[in-house]
């Protein structure tokens, strides 16, 4: 981990927030899904603004008020709560009202879910001994083929319940820095270890490897594709029964959160494209496809997947195009 200082430049904060807020509008969706996805991106930016200072919110306000999304779905609650940390929420911020109907997942997504669930059913699911680990990111390096340590950890305990994505780039005094906001979620140590050490760690590795922005829109689809693929490889490789149980539960939860699959995740119920990517994107990458993931991350991960699943190749899940 590295120690750096966030920018104190008001113009730097404004430029970062306004630029990110514009990027958050560029999502591969339309109508109600576009509105909900954009507002969710703004809520993630608002966390960064809260860490930086009030001047950052000025940049976010400018874009939000110009965009004029009136109904943003449940993510608007997080956006408004974080904005409220810096003063009264401006009129014109989106409400949490339902932005409208969205289309459900297609047959390719449903088939991918069935294949992945069938593979999970072949993996033993039992408890094992748990020994707490202090440094979750360092622990997770064993599961990440290109682990970075160029990360700044920030305390986010005052934002518990208001954060979803906690990995981001923020403006420092000498340029953008890669940040992980910790202590934003309450959960048992092992679950937090897997979240931080494997999934979030994979996001940080991807940020370190990519010069382009992967925090929003199509870039975010690539980011979740890679992080979820890292989880699948870890599930195939690990011999730790307790870790395997958490990983398996996480995969099944990603399947369930896709609209129509049973889970009631308020934000993702309105984001079928993003929710499906955790399944279809990961399987596409491990099967030889996927865009937005550099070869130096992609190829070692695929090689580990093939080795880890070689003894059960017929059960290995794959993405089957819908006919």
Handedness of CA 90, 96, 100, 106 (dihedral sign): positive
Looking at the domain assignment, is residue 94 inside a domain? no
Residue 301, pLDDT above cutoff 70: yes
Burial letters 35-71, b for 16+ CB under 10 A, else e: bbbbbbbbbbbbbbbbbbbebbbbbbbebbeebebeb
Query: Both 140 and 238 in a single domain?
Result: yes
Residue 151, pLDDT above cutoff 70: yes
Question: How many structural domains comprise the chain?
Answer: 2
Query: Both 34 and 131 in a single domain?
Result: no
Dump pLDDT digits (tens) for 156-178.
999 999 999 999 999 999 999 99
Residue 312, pLDDT above cutoff 90: no
* Structural domain for 36, as ranges: 10-86
Query: Both 67 and 211 in a single domain?
Result: no
Query: Both 42 and 148 in a single domain?
Result: no
In angstroms, the CA 233 to CA 235 distance is 5
What is the residue-averaged pLDDT of the chain?
92
Looking at the domain assignment, is residue 228 inside a domain? yes
Query: Both 223 and 281 in a single domain?
Result: yes
Residue 21, token pair as written in the block: 């807020």
Residues of the chain with pLDDT > 70, as a percent, come to: 95
Query: Both 64 and 113 in a single domain?
Result: no
Query: Both 250 and 168 in a single domain?
Result: yes
Q: What is the mean pLDDT of residues 284-289?
A: 92
Which tops the pLDDT comparison, 321 or 48? 48
Looking at the domain assignment, is residue 175 inside a domain? yes
Q: How do beta strands 167-172 and 152-155 pair?
A: unpaired
Highest average pLDDT, of 3-12, 55-64, 217-226, 256-265, comes from: 55-64
Can you spell out the DSSP letters for 293-310?
Answer: S-HHHHHHHHHHHHHHTG
Q: Cα 244 to the chain's mean position, in Å? A: 20
Query: Both 39 and 118 in a single domain?
Result: no
Query: Both 175 and 283 in a single domain?
Result: yes
Residue 36, token pair as written in the block: 């909900």
Residue 323, pLDDT above cutoff 80: no
Query: Both 140 and 272 in a single domain?
Result: yes
Lowest mean pLDDT segment, chosen from 232-246, 250-264, 267-281: 250-264
Residue 322, pLDDT above cutoff 50: no
Query: Both 128 and 77 in a single domain?
Result: no
Looking at the domain assignment, is residue 3 inside a domain? no
Looking at residue 314, what is its pLDDT? 52
Asked if 34 and 74 count as a contact pair (C-beta separation under 8 A), the reply is no
Q: What Å distances lie between residue 19 and 13, 24, 75, CA to CA?
A: 10, 9, 20
Query: Both 82 and 114 in a single domain?
Result: no
């Amino acid at each position: 981990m590295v120690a750096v200082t966030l920018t104190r430049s008001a113009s730097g904060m404004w430029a970062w927030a306004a630029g990110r807020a514009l990027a958050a509008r560029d999502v591969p969706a339309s109508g109600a899904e576009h509105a909900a996805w954009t507002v969710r991106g703004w809520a993630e930016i608002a966390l960064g603004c809260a860490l930086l200072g009030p001047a950052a919110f000025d940049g976010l306000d400018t874009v939000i008020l110009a965009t004029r999304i009136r109904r943003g779905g449940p993510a608007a609650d997080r956006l408004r709560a974080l904005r409220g940390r810096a003063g009264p929420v401006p009129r014109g911020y989106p409400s949490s009202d339902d932005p409208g109907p969205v289309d459900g997942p297609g047959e390719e997504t449903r088939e991918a879910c069935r294949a992945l669930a069938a593979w999970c059913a072949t993996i033993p699911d039992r408890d094992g001994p748990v020994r707490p680990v202090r440094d979750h990111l360092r622990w997770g390096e064993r599961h990440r083929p290109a682990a970075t340590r160029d990360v700044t950890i920030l305390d986010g305990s005052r934002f518990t319940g208001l954060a979803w994505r906690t990995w981001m780039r923020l403006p420092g005094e000498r340029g953008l820095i890669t940040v992980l906001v910790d202590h934003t979620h309450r959960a048992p140590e092992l679950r937090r270890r897997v979240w931080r050490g494997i999934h979030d760690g994979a996001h940080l590795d991807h940020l370190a490897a990519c010069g382009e922005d992967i925090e929003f829109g199509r870039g975010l689809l690539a980011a979740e594709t890679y992080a979820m693929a890292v989880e699948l490889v870890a599930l195939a490789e690990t011999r730790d029964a307790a870790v395997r149980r958490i990983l398996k539960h996480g995969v099944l939860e990603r399947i369930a959160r896709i609209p129509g699959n049973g889970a009631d995740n308020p934000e993702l119920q309105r984001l079928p494209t993003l929710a499906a990517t955790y399944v279809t994107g990961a399987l596409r990458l491990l099967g030889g496809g996927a865009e937005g993931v550099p070869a130096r991350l992609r190829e070692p991960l695929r090689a580990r997947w093939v080795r880890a699943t070689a003894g059960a190749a017929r059960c290995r899940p794959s993405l089957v195009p819908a006919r």
